[in-house]
Structure 1
Amino acid sequence: MKLVPASAHDADALAATLRACNRAANRASEVAFAKDLKRRNVLQDEVYYALKADYDLGAQPAVRTIKKVCDAYAALKGNIKAGNLGRPGSKRRLRAESRPIAFREDAAQPYDDRILTWNLDAQTVSIWTVAGRLKGIPFVCSPQALKLLASRKGESDLVMRDGMFFLIATVDVPEPEPFEPDGFLGVDLGIVNIATTSDGDIMAGRRLNRYRERHRHLRAKLQAKRTKSAKRAVKRIRRREARHAAQTNHIIANKLVTTAERTSRGIALEDLGGIRQRVTARKDQRTRLHSWAFAQLGAFVEYKARRAGVPVVHVDPRNTSRQCSECRHTHRTNRVTQARFACRSCAVVLHADHNSSRNIAHRGEAVWQRGAVNRPRTA
């Protein structure tokens, strides 16, 4: 939800609150790192009164700030354990382990119901700040989001982006049980074509790739000028590309889930975890590879499918582009070009991405039949 402060005083108070809380979080993080105090209770005993006195925080904001620091270290520990920061001794992992976690001055700050009160009828909030409690701050959102706020639970995060303030709230949405699918809709994810389904529906990525290329050249042109107006322009457009890509992924994900739900099928996706480390791209293709938002599209498909009760499975992507979806013959020469597949065994000719998506659909059904995913009970 976007907050609409009524005056410059209210906006300044919200910004000052984020600065104070994040400076306090940096202080607590330094103590946690130096004394190895990563649990909330022990860290709170060490820094609670200092944060209240030095940064003008109330009791509950100080507690939320300390909890934020502990959650950040818990997330770091989880990433290290999962290998997301590289192997032991790697530069990235050493850099993360050798210094305390730092928080930006405008980083998100969590609020609980003691320091943030919602009035859904009036669409206002009462929020604690370092300048006192601000009451009747309006917020705007869609009618659907306002309806979902009735089931809000837990903390909400205050976020500042480009001078605007937002509240990110957590809501509980009923999740239906996944149905027993009548087959699977295979989805091949790619760069040239963002998504291709086993039905032959191709969502081309040419428009998005051209948009990204245009923004890349624009950023390079502005950065080369080194003027204040150019820097302001770079700052103004910095998130525009990400928003455009996210909107495109939302549209594609909605289409995939709607198609699967209408035809009573599940959705089969490739398991592309770690693909950026496995794939070696040419220098002129690296930017396109690393700006490929396949993980975001996969996440959008998964949560939209869960809300609709559509089963989703992930399959091994190996050789999906080289295997014939008709006779299962696999050979690297089957993939003639980026867009053309011609089987050397049965002579079937298909669009290469369509062939891959059909293989993904077959593998998804096999995974489901083996019971490798949670399945609904049938009578």
Structure 2
Amino acid sequence: MRKNPAMRYTRFLAAAIVAVLTNPSAWAQAWRTETIASGLENPWAVAFLPQGRFLVTERPGRMRVVEADGRLGKPLAGVPEVVARGQGGLLDVVLDSGFDRNRELYFCFSEPGAGGNSTALARAKLSDDLSRLENVRVIFSGKPKVESSHHFGCRIVETRDGHLFLTLGDRYSRMRDAQTLDTHHGKVVRIQKDGTAPRDNPFVGRAGALPEIWSYGHRNMQGAALGPDGALWTHEHGPQGGDEINIARAGRNHGWPVITYGENYGGGKIGEGITERAGLEQPLKYWVPSIAPSGMAFLTSDKYGAAARGNLFVGSLKFGYLARLELAEGKVVREHKLLEGVGRVRDVRQSPDGWLYVVTDSAQGQLLRLRQ
């Protein structure tokens, strides 16, 4: 009896789907990118404006609107002076949860000042004509300022109750500060939108402790996102090896530089060369060798199928890929490498309509949308 061509095609399609779902490498190859915009100079972050537009920061100190069709707008007026040196410059940007009614946003940058520079967080309003920032006000400035062009951290997350988290690096030359509570170096801070410390922060009222501190013992966090339960997930650069993913909970000490899975550049142990100690938090995941992580997003949509929903996505600057991390019971259980060779992934975000977007960091950086 002659076989039905439609039946043969259905069976072939079913077999192909099973092969992709059961073969991680084949599944990874199914991802592709669509170029939205090119010609961005070292872009660092993307936020999603109404009507399909994007707001992108460029590390040299520019913020610009990208039209839905990819056209680059002129740099916005009103951006404050930044220290555009080394890893410093204009870094993260997020829209306020009430942007549709108040047009407010937050951005962080390396701020010059007496003694050097530090990470600062500013609040501003985007003008109706998309040409400038208005009412710019720095609501947080890291202390103390030091002469360094490294480890600014600088990811911003708004919590469900309307507070702001900001990640801060240890400034590289001051790594021991990550273990003290009298500086902001190597900390996650939690503030209200006016810049003041919430009264329920863990170190409020403790002598010698800065009230904005939420967690400490971090190295250089360039990824942060709210998890499914509302907890703050972060990742940070290790030294040579030892990049980490953590859940930053109130008052917890994440160990740097007392414990680490990395080593000094060129070899040799850091401190005692230990990876754990009582009272210090262990990472949920660590990478050896380092992937140089930047950008972090949880996928909450079904745009990429049921297998990807709930996964965590992290960019790699060093190896130029996007990591897709499967989670189970709050732990990372499997990693897939997507988009290998795409370039230095600086940021990854999920748009309001459920698509994932990636920003690549180069002199001719791109804004890309992920497709399957």
- Name the TM-score class by shorter chain: under 0.3
- Return the structure number with greater relative CO, CA threshold 8 A, min gap 6: 1
Which has the larger Rg? Answer: 1
Richer in helix (by share): 1
TM-score, normalised by the number of residues in structure 1: 0.22
